[in-house]
Amino acid sequence: MYPEGNTGYSYEECRATADWLMAQTALRPLVGLVCGSGLGGLAELLKDQVVFNYRDIPNFPQSTVHGHAGRLVFGTLKGRPCVCMQGRFHLYEGYPIQKITLPMRIFKLMGVETVILTNAAGGLNQDFKVGDIMIMKDHINMPGFAGNNPLTGPNDERFGVRFPCMSDAYDRELQQLAMDVGTELGYGDFLKEGVYCVVGGPSFETIAECRMLHKLGADAVGMSTVHEVIVARHCGMRVFGLSLITNRAVMDYDSEEKANHEEVLETGKQRALQLERLVSTLVTRIGHNNFF
């Protein structure tokens, strides 16, 4: 069914994985959460948890990155049924792009209607500070320019159309709702919005690359999320994204600063509680505002 070199999953394989999971738990999630580096604490907020290790789920890849637990957690958040990926997959781990995004299709087949994705990112916008939380309003898909898109290969209409629109990828109502919630919680000083650019990694960007991305209109840069967003939108789910600015991208040749993964995890720890509170309140409001 797939051309040579394409390692996508058929509708039937995705269905089998979704059915396997639904046979193990009575919970039917309406919200899917994806935890970025150091942000796995979101999953701990879920009540009445049913937990699966990725290695035990048919067809599922495994997370190999420090700071990603590698567990799929079902539970309720303020009474809302949710499923949470505690750890995600990245191109730099060597997985085909269709495997990285497989969980989004599983989410859809389990009945998820809204996906909330979080990530750790480097700040390109000079007004951003370490610890800022950026609401994603749009993205730049650098691997996509080189033809590395999760929708490459045969299209199955049961998932979505051949040429999905991405100009409305990030739900504007959810963005506004998050801004309102953030203001209520007193997060106005560090809650921003902007454009996220995905790169392949795992090496951090050069100074010239950061300058280029900033000139192209990117406010933050990271190595995840966009591929999942494309597949989630292809499937018709609503999408909301948050980036935690964990380091400032180095833009100056005289600078002694260097990006490192430990700094990413440390910032995640410091700001995690506020990010968790923002997301959990948002999930409650999604239900309240009849977003389902």
Q: How far apart are CA 196 and CA 245, in angstroms?
A: 11
Q: Considering 149, 247, 272, 280, which one is annotated as catalytic?
A: 247
Task: Single out the catalytic residue among 43, 110, 120, 232.
Answer: 120
Q: Look up residue 112 and give its two tokens.
A: 């998820």
Question: Rounded distance, CA 265 to CA 246, Å?
Answer: 8
Candidates 224, 228, 232, 272; catalytic one = 224
Cα separation, 51 vs 32, whole angstroms? 14
Identify the active-site residue in 9, 18, 63, 90. 90
| Active-site option among 16, 69, 261, 263 | 261
Which one is catalytic: 85, 93, 141, 187? Answer: 93
Dihedral sign (CA 45, 48, 52, 58): negative
Phi and psi, residue 48, nearest 5°: 55, 50
CA 211 and chain centroid, separation: 24
Whole-number Å distance between alpha carbons of 102 and 59: 9
Give catalytic status of residue 119 as yes or no: no
Annotated catalytic residue within 22, 53, 69, 92: 92
* Selected catalytic residue, list 104, 218, 220, 223: 223
Specify whether 243 is catalytic. no
Q: Measured between alpha carbons, how far is residue 84 from residues 4, 46, 178, 191 in Å?
A: 33, 9, 19, 23
Annotated catalytic residue 9: no
Is 196 a known active-site residue? no
Nearest to 98 by CA among 58, 52, 152: 152
Helix, strand or coil, per DSSP, at residue 74? strand
Identity at 83, one-letter amino acid code: V
Which residue in the list 37, 63, 119, 149 is annotated as catalytic? 37
92 is catalytic: yes
Active site residue 247: yes
Q: Which helix (H) or strand (E) holds 48?
A: strand 47-53
Give the H or E element holding residue 83. strand 80-86
Question: Among all residues, which ones are annotated catalytic?
Answer: 37, 68, 90, 92-93, 120, 223-224, 247, 261
